[in-house]
Amino acid sequence: MFKVKSMKRIIIIIFVASVFLFSCVNKETKVKIDKIDSLLIQIDSLSYELEQVKIDSLRAVYSVTKSNNEFFQNNNFDMPEDKAFIKDFGGYGLVGKNLKRLLGSYNTMNTDIEYSKKQLINLRHDIKKELLTNSDTINRYIIDEEEAVNNIKVNLLPKIQLLNKQLPLYYKTHKRIENFKKKIELRIKN
């Protein structure tokens, strides 16, 4: 009799311990999944920010500013002494330079976002399906992805803000620059 009671106690203790351990593992897994979901929300937010950039308009503006800047580089002209015009002329040149640099990195920014999103989705899947169970390995992957998301954020947001500032600057200066260009073209023809 004593052995049966002892066996029952041992079985109950093992059962309680396994339920406890199983619930701890589930809590730990849930925390990791929640962290991944938080990173995915950040990535989706960055993706949305990048989608809001009027990329087609910026490409068209770049084409115009590039053409006009090449015109000014290839023709001799006297710069007006109007300080406001000189400021606008410099700003117009900056629009072209900024767009050249930023439009080249636009596709890279989008690729980085998509790659990080794919990595996070795969990591979440592997954890949920218990394809990846080593806690240290999972933590290392999460830290790596967290760093990747932070790097994207640090590099991307200032570029997006700078891209978004180019259109208003272009619209502010373009008419004056075009008028100045027309005057030079008339002088060249005569």
pLDDT per residue as tens digits for the range 144-154? 999 999 998 88
Given this model, what pLDDT does residue 133 score?
87
Nearest to 110 by CA among 59, 37, 62, 53: 53
What band does 8 get if pLDDT is binned at 50, 70 and 90?
low
Cα(117)–Cα(109) distance, rounded to whole angstroms? Answer: 12
Measured at the CA of 164, the angle between CA 71 and CA 89, to 5 degrees, comes to: 30
- For residues 123 and 141, the answer to whether their CB atoms sit within 8 Å is yes
Mapping DSSP onto H, E and C, the string for 1-51 reads: CHHHHHHHHHHHHHHHHHHHHHHHHHHHHHHHHHHHHHHHHHHHHHHHHHH
Cα(159)–Cα(112) distance, rounded to whole angstroms? Answer: 14
For each of the domains in the chain, give its residue range(s) and CATH number, in order of start.
Answer: 30-189 (1.20.120)
Question: What's this model's pTM, rounded to 2 decimal places?
Answer: 0.70
Which parts of the chain fold into alpha helices (H)? Answer: 2-51, 55-74, 83-128, 135-189
Phi, psi of 54 (to 5 degrees): -80, 75
Given this model, what pLDDT does residue 58 score?
86
Overall residue count recorded for the chain in this entry: 190
Question: Each residue of 85-114: pLDDT tens digit?
Answer: 999 999 999 888 888 888 888 888 889 999
